[in-house]
Structure 1
Amino acid sequence: MATQQAIQVVLASRPATPRASLENFRVETVSMPVPSAGQVLVRIDTLSLDPYMRGRMNDSKSYAKPAEIGQPMPGESVATVLESSSPEFVPGDIVLVQAGWRSHAALDAKGLKKLAVEGFNASAYLGVLGMPGFTAWSGLEVIGKPKAGETLVVGAATGPVGSLVGQLAKHKGLRAVGIAGGEKKCAYLLDELGFDAAIDHRLPNFADELRSACPDGIDVYFENIGDAVWNAVVPLLNQYARVPVCGLMAQLSGKLSHDTSKDYLAQTMRAVLTRSLQIRGFINYEFTEQYFDAFIREVSALLREGKIKHIEDVTVGLENAPQAFLDMLDGRNFGKVLVQVSA
């Protein structure tokens, strides 16, 4: 093989504050991994960057183990098999792998997923047909329990999760209201994705604009942001409203904008009690065994029929992954954040 070296991005240090920085990452050149019996050598083509990775940088108890200092950051990728000692894979196969932020990896063949990419770009399996897509579908279906005629509001609505939540809601006959940052993103929600309303959370009168966009209140709120957005949503939640809690981007980025001296918990808990709200946090893998096949059938069909749209925000070069990741946490991305590792 001509290339004898690989690169990887490791966690150099844990963030001392909620806001991570470039100093927390380190790019390293390492020897090309050598596959052993039962393994395959893969070249990472496209790496997915996702908000959950910020939590893995902390050494705290969570639903998954933290990343280790000096080890590659965790992450899912689409990769190409270069060498194989397994009869299940041959060079050239396209696979979905958990290899972290690396250019190459030697992985056990058992558990690798070969991708059928006919009709799709392989990168779709990192977004609309992958973990973010299933997160959107399962949170909406299992917890949101959407009903035609209801009003759904979703935060971070141009992201890979939020954009699919809103489009699925429209297909099911709901009124979809998206919350996003900036005029460009709001215009995309209205003009391209067919949302009924789009509200810029950066507006000084955001709460009033949201209220005007939801004259009949909110029946399903798909939570991706937290912070001041949540505080504006709570008064609008209807009796028996459902709230799938998927993410809290404001907390992950460390950019809290609400008045932290005020106790908003009391407002939330009173609403939970008096309006019989159903609020449930979830991690998508809770629903994989029971619902993943149904998700693939529904969303892949909609995608092939052109009824679902998705966009990708691609950064070229693994060495640029840390900055792309920080930009995503600050909301500077537009669509599913990917890193093109190999041409």
Structure 2
Amino acid sequence: MAQTSEVNRQIVLAERPKGQPDHDTLKMQATDVPVPGEGEMLVRTVYLSLDPYMRGRMNDAKSYAEPVSIGEVMTAQVVGQVVTSNLEGYEVGDFVLSGSGWQDYAVSDGSMVMNLGKNPENPSWALGILGMPGYTAYAGLLKIGEPKPGETVVVAAAAGPVGATVGQIAKLKGCKVVGIAGGADKCAHVVENLGFDACIDHRSDDLAKELREACPNGIDVYFENVGGKVLYAVLPLLNPFARVPVCGVVAWYNLPGLPEGRDMGPSIMGTVLRMKVKMQGFIIYDSFPASLYKEFSRDMNAWLQDGSVKYKEHVVEGLENAPAAFNQLLVGGNFGKMVVKVSQ
């Protein structure tokens, strides 16, 4: 496979954002294409994954992972293709899943890399339904949410890659599933294509009322992806011993400080206490035993093959468009799993 460029475009963190990232936050620079040494390979990015967690990595704050340094290539998982290889087990043309970040090329010694083979049917799916988002949905719902037949499961960001998968798995487990999404088109997709029992538009002025009507028996499992007013609408409906897997709180990611309005802390903690709620945050790579990934891969591949689970991608063309697409993602502008197609 011939190298397609002599320039390696990189998008780096130029400064830490205060609130929503702007045109000064991420900058593109051009460098030479790196040359792999002994025991290394050169990988060309084909698909770049955009995920909400990246906003947290822009902050210089204590978290589950080190922040991206100023001037460093923005972190991300990618599906790439091996251009040259001096590494056993990887041949030219192999597709690989790696953490190369927002750039055209990267050198790797094979650490934290998965070989997807020469001809994966849907290579970008390794960034979504068959990768981190799909595994997050599977593990968070089944191991923390512990849904039981007949229970009511509510899913925030229900049209996104995690929420859509959570809801479909919950249906497979015999639950009533109510989604919350942004806009009529997303809500229609969630019900008509994904099989949820109902979906509430979080932009509605009557969100709390509509959610209450959709959940007459209360809520047993709430899969949290959003926070904000969606969480506040859910709180009064949580049943005794409800379970709340906390995957994300994207509504608050761009806040420069505490949310405006009244302090909801007493209401949140009071509900957790009175209703004996189990609320557990988790990060997919260190919250579950490694053996669970094999179960996920087995089950998800079977569900995709028999049509029990459906998957939607939102593909953006061009590395140069990644920063704008990322901001779109943070405000719910994606429809499905957002990936950037960097090269052919």
Q: Distance in 2 between matches of 1:181 and 1:2?
A: 40
Per-residue Cα deviation, 1:14-44 (whole angstroms, up to 9, x for no partner): 01x2221121010111101100111000110
Match of 1:273 in 2: 273
Q: Which amino acid aligns with 2:169?
A: L
Q: Which amino acid aligns with 2:209?
A: D
What are the ranges of 5 or more consecutive residues in structure 1 without an aligned counterpart? Answer: none
Q: Distance in 2 between matches of 1:249 and 1:35?
A: 38
The Cα shift of 1:255 comes to: 10
Distance 1:2 1:120, change over 3 A: closer
Match of 2:8 in 1: 6
Match of 2:181 in 1: 180
Normalising by structure 1, report the TM-score.
0.96
Per-residue Cα deviation, 1:155-176 (whole angstroms, up to 9, x for no partner): 0000000000000000110001
Q: Map of 1:111-126 to 2, 5 A cutoff?
A: 111-116=112-117, 120-126=121-127
**1:88–1:109 contact (8 Å) kept in structure 2:** no
Q: Distance in 1 between matches of 2:6 and 2:122?
A: 28
Q: Map of 1:226-241 to 2, 5 A cutoff?
A: 226-241=227-242
The Cα shift of 1:106 comes to: 0.8
Q: Which amino acid aligns with 1:164?
A: T
Q: Distance in 2 between matches of 1:259 and 1:58?
A: 17
The Cα shift of 1:2 comes to: 5.4
Q: How many residues align?
A: 341
Distance 1:137 1:75, change over 3 A: same
Q: Which moved more, 1:194-203 or 1:305-314?
A: 305-314
Per-residue Cα deviation, 1:243-299 (whole angstroms, up to 9, x for no partner): 00000010114399x983312111111111111110000001121513111111111
Structure 2 residue matching 1:287: 3-state secondary structure: coil
**2:94–2:118 contact (8 Å) kept in structure 1:** no
Distance 1:252 1:259, change over 3 A: closer
Q: Distance in 2 between matches of 1:2 and 1:264?
A: 54
Structure 2 residue matching 1:115: 3-state secondary structure: strand
Match of 2:306 in 1: 305
Distance 1:205 1:259, change over 3 A: farther
Q: Determine what percentage of the aligned residue pairs are the same residue.
A: 48
The question of 1:154 aligning with 2:155 is answered: yes
**2:93–2:118 contact (8 Å) kept in structure 1:** no
Match of 1:283 in 2: 283
Q: Distance in 2 between matches of 1:225 and 1:163?
A: 14
Match of 1:316 in 2: 317
Q: Distance in 1 between matches of 2:81 and 2:207?
A: 45
Q: Distance in 1 between matches of 2:141 and 2:66?
A: 27
Distance 1:200 1:117, change over 3 A: farther
Q: Which moved more, 1:275-284 or 1:102-111?
A: 102-111
Distance 1:118 1:33, change over 3 A: closer
Match of 2:139 in 1: 138
Q: Distance in 1 between matches of 2:321 and 2:281?
A: 32
Q: Distance in 2 between matches of 1:314 and 1:254?
A: 27
The Cα shift of 1:87 comes to: 2.1
Q: Map of 1:21-60 to 2, 5 A cutoff?
A: 21-60=22-61
The question of 1:92 aligning with 2:104 is answered: no
Distance 1:72 1:220, change over 3 A: same
Distance 1:248 1:9, change over 3 A: same
**1:119–1:304 contact (8 Å) kept in structure 2:** no
**1:46–1:78 contact (8 Å) kept in structure 2:** yes
Q: Distance in 1 between matches of 2:161 and 2:95?
A: 22
Q: Which amino acid aligns with 2:147?
A: P
Q: Which amino acid aligns with 1:7?
A: R
**2:95–2:120 contact (8 Å) kept in structure 1:** no
Per-residue Cα deviation, 1:275-325 (whole angstroms, up to 9, x for no partner): 111000000112151311111111111011121111111111101100000
Q: CA RMSD in A?
A: 1.6
**2:94–2:117 contact (8 Å) kept in structure 1:** no
The Cα shift of 1:119 comes to: 7.0
Match of 2:261 in 1: 261
Match of 1:220 in 2: 221
